Amino acid sequence: MDRSAGRTLAVQIADCIRAAIDGGHIEFGARLPSSRALSDEIGVARANVENAYDQLTAEGWIDARHGAGTYVRRIPAERSVTSRPTRSAASTPHTPERRVRLATGTPWVSPRVSAAWRRAWREVGTAPPPQSYPDPRGEPHLRAAVADLLGRARGLKTDAESVIITTGSMHGMALALPALADSSSSPGLAHENPGYRVATTTATRWGWSVHDVSVDADGMVIDELNRAPSNTRAVYVTPSHQYPTGGLLPVGRRRALADVARRRDLMIIEDDYDSEFRYGVAPLPTVAELAPDRTVYLGTVAKTLGGGIRIGWLVAPRHVLDRIVDVRTDLGDYPSLPVQHATASLLRDGEWDRTVRAARRLYRERDRRVAARLAEFGELRGVGAGMHTTLLLDPGVATAVAARAAAEGVDIDTLAESTRTDSPVTGLIVGYGSVSEDELAYGLDVLTDALRSVN
């Protein structure tokens, strides 16, 4: 281990093991030492070995068998590391075929097919085909599992009767908006700016107007809600890790938000985006816990078990919940019963918890790595949480850097793409969730070269 090298210890460990497997020094089927044993042997923190093992598992070199150890997988010859781009990304010539997307919304999902995953779909496959239409609120055992999860993971005390199963956060918002409009012909939504553009698109499709509210380093500036138009019926907020700037809404602002909502008769739509991933401090209480009578809480498995499962949830007070059920009954857009059953099994068997623990280890290392590489170029926001870091830059510089990076095969979003009206918050959004270690190394090298050349 070279502690003075530019690569992290976890990357160095993964490199060594990968090279040993590819060179035939570690044979197929060999059992690797436990993370604790290897960390003791080479004198590094155990987290470095765990992160290296997670990366090698994601790349398909090793297989972590729950309760049985970690083993080398059979690697076909064409997957040899010698045929892959060198890990020294700075010396890697760009080829048009190579593209790296530093995306913000796509998570790392373990390629390991777990026993819980197999069991979930085996249960679905052996069950009788569903004959009746689903409960418009969702399957009771899944709603109960979600209520239990929210109590354990987020401290949100709720029950199955207050939960509605959706196909994701924005589906939950699409169900809530018509229920919150009441008889208003032109309801208004207060929304963060910069913010999640899909949420504003969802609102406008349902006939809502959108009023932009500024964000700063701590998230939404709550005082600005007092200037929202009189037709404002709801406010959309991402308090756990503001998208895309990464601010963490402090408790004082959360209480102020609840006060404004009660005073102005607003409903809060709380998108608990990225709340599972924090790397230094525990998550703050949900806004729904502070104002249960005024909050529609949105959650999803998209950032944990994967977006393709298409399962999420909303929690709402009873008077809103009943109206949402009526909307769904009219629309008839229920999540698939087999998928609901499988998701309930995954939650029951602890797959969500295991996936989150593994992802946290991986993201924590990447969060530190990205921050270390970019700190010299400007103010960073969102560090210590989530799957992306925001680098504040002048708008012209951000656009030029993104263009230079794209020419070298690295695609990165600017804050301008998440901004509806003028905002002083401008820069780049650096996502690190779904890329491999090779891709992240290359992406950061290209990005830092572009930043130096433009500045």
Among 351, 386, 420, residue at a domain's last position = 351
User: Which residue would you say has higher pLDDT here, 50 or 93?
Assistant: 50
Mean pLDDT of 42-66: 81
> How far is the C-alpha of 172 from the C-alpha of 325, rounded, in Å?
11
Residues belonging to the chain:
455
**CATH code where residue 72 lies:** 1.10.10.10
Say if residue 259 is in the same domain as residue 159: yes
Helical pair 35-42 and 46-59, crossing angle rounded to 10 deg: 120
- Boundaries of domain holding 77: 1-84
Say if residue 143 is in the same domain as residue 6: no
Say if residue 80 is in the same domain as residue 153: no
CA quadruple 298, 302, 307, 308: dihedral, nearest 10? -90
| Six token digits for residue 24 | 């035939």
In a domain, 153, yes or no: yes
In a domain, 311, yes or no: yes
Residue 144 to residues 26, 123, 159, 335, 348: CA-CA distances in angstroms?
Answer: 46, 18, 7, 16, 10
| Six token digits for residue 125 | 């496959």
Among the listed residues 169, 133, 143, 113, the one whose alpha carbon sits nearest the alpha carbon of residue 331 = 133
Residue 156 · residue 313 · CB < 8 Å: no
Say if residue 142 is in the same domain as residue 270: yes
276-305 pLDDT tens trace: 898 876 677 899 999 999 999 999 999 888
Mean pLDDT of 40-47: 86
In a domain, 379, yes or no: no
Say if residue 221 is in the same domain as residue 325: yes
The pTM of this model reads 0.78
Give the pairing type, strands 69-72 and 267-271: unpaired
Of the pLDDT bands very low, low, confident and very high (cuts 50, 70, 90), residue 113 is low
pLDDT at 106: 84
Say if residue 257 is in the same domain as residue 156: yes
In a domain, 425, yes or no: no
Residue 149 · residue 163 · CB < 8 Å: no
Say if residue 134 is in the same domain as residue 52: no
| Six token digits for residue 31 | 């059992």
Say if residue 70 is in the same domain as residue 122: no
- As for how many domains the chain has, the answer is 2
Distance in angstroms between the alpha carbons of the first and the last residue of the chain: 34
